[in-house]
Amino acid sequence: EGGGAMAASGPERPGPGALALLGPAPGAPSCPHGPALLFVKTSQGKEKGRRFYACSACRDRKDCNFFQWEDEKVSETRLAAREEYNSNRQPPFTHRQNVDRYKNFVLLPLSKRRFCQECQQLLLPAEWDKHSDHQFLCGITTAQLKSPSQLLYPLENKKTNAQYLFADRSCQFLVNLLTDLGFRRVLSVGTPRLHEMIQSKASQEEEFSVRSLLLDIDFRYSQFYTEDEFCHYNMFNHHFFGGEAARETCRKFLCEENGERVVMVTDPPFGGLVEALASSFKKLMAMWKETEKEGDDSKEMPMFWIFPYFFESRILDFFPSFSMMDYQVDYDNHALYKHGKTGRKQSPVRIFTNLTPSMIVLPEEEGYRFCTVCQRYVSSGNQHCEMCNSCTSKDGRLWKHCVLCKKCVKPSWFHCNNCNCCTLQKHSCEKTDVGCFVCGKAGHKRSACPSLSRT
């Protein structure tokens, strides 16, 4: 909560160490980002620590310092103060008000269409005085209103919003892929630029009949989209800020046409907790399942989860039906994740999907080719390894097979006889570096230990 006496005192909080997420708990307290998540502190060799609630969306205390021990008794006064704090942190207008404001804004002549850059808000003439000492843009065109992701200032806080927006190339590729696969409705979870491209294609091309519903934590989008086009949503705790009405909008959208021809595409912040995301995505999938009248119970709602390749094992833990595609997704405003660079600078971001891999056709002009053995498209540097019997490269570079490890490894790795595995040439051969403190297995740190996330 906000400063002063309301915040938990510093030394009381758990210090550094591994945190395990226990997940969304019924009756959890709320912060401005909706219901908090329950965590437990674990430290090496010790018993599990005390359980506590913290903000679901912000991993950084500077962004939201909500904290409460699970067993803490919170006084009535503090509860009331928290209520007030949460409601003061909500946006100045409701979504409905923003929709009405937009209708009035569009009627204004170009010379009177202003956008306040400091408040990130479309201004009506009556409000100019209030914003007179702010920076604003004048003459906002219809084209600008149709591409809000370019008009709005990206919130580049990596852990909460991480608004790295798809580069045009990746966005076009996704739209074409979805259309070719015959999808008619796209649930765009945290992908404003994809939503925008689908919307503008639908308004410009008569034969284009795909619709999108954007679910995003960034409420600024409510200024540009109706309640059927945008829901204010937190993907870390599956919270609809618009309550039951917004949840129903989402459910209806998924369930039209008997739930056929709908796909979910999501691009979460990479600093986010995989298990919290997986839990929300499973709830969205369950929402879709509610309508499936007849047929197969094991069917899953089609989904594309866009995330870095090094999270592959974590994602497959939660969604065993998913597989990772070789397509490199790149971003406009991200220095590292740009396409076409070689070596370490290639984008590590991939598409994970539960669709049959052979259906995902990747552009041959960008060097992707079809591997007939693996029955999927792979990047040009990804060679089929006879010994592994698969195309093994994860990062676009040519990997090499290690006979001792019985698997392919990165080209820069060498087999170390001390560690009995392949690793970087410059590394310290200490056994403690290799294993996880919690379960002793190699390949992950204790904070990412799968045995913790399943408690």
Average the pLDDT over 52-71 and give the result.
Answer: 89
Q: How confident is the model at residue 46 (pLDDT cuts 50, 70, 90)?
A: low
The rounded distance, in Å, linking the Cα atoms of 142 and 430 is 61
Stronger pLDDT, 48 or 288, i.e. the higher one: 288
Stronger pLDDT, 58 or 146, i.e. the higher one: 146
Tens of pLDDT, residues 217-276: 999 999 999 999 999 999 999 999 999 999 999 999 999 999 899 999 999 988 778 999
Nearest to 116 by CA among 93, 133, 99: 133
Q: Which stretch of 185-194, 242-251, 380-389, 436-445 has the lowest confidence by average pLDDT?
A: 436-445
DSSP 320: T
Per-residue pLDDT at 4: 30
Per-residue pLDDT at 33: 95
Over 90: is that where the pLDDT of 176 sits?
yes
309's tokens? 């390749």
How would DSSP label each residue in 335-346?
Answer: SS--TT--GGGS
Over 80: is that where the pLDDT of 352 sits?
yes
Q: Which stretch of 85-89, 395-399, 440-444 has the lowest confidence by average pLDDT?
A: 440-444
Q: Which fold has domain 168-380?
A: Rossmann fold (3.40.50)
- pTM, whole model, 2 decimals? 0.86
Question: Which CA distances in Å does 58 have to 33, 190, 234?
Answer: 9, 15, 11
Pairing mode, if any, of strands 211-216 and 230-234?
Answer: parallel
89's tokens? 């942190």
How would DSSP label each residue in 7-76?
Answer: SPPGGGS--SSEEEEEEE-TT--EETTEEPEEEEEE-TTSPP--EEEE-SS-SSTTT---EEETTPPPPH
Give the DSSP H/E element, type plus range, for residue 453.
Answer: helix 450-453
* 346, 393 Cβ separation under 8 angstroms: no
* 350, 357 Cβ separation under 8 angstroms: no
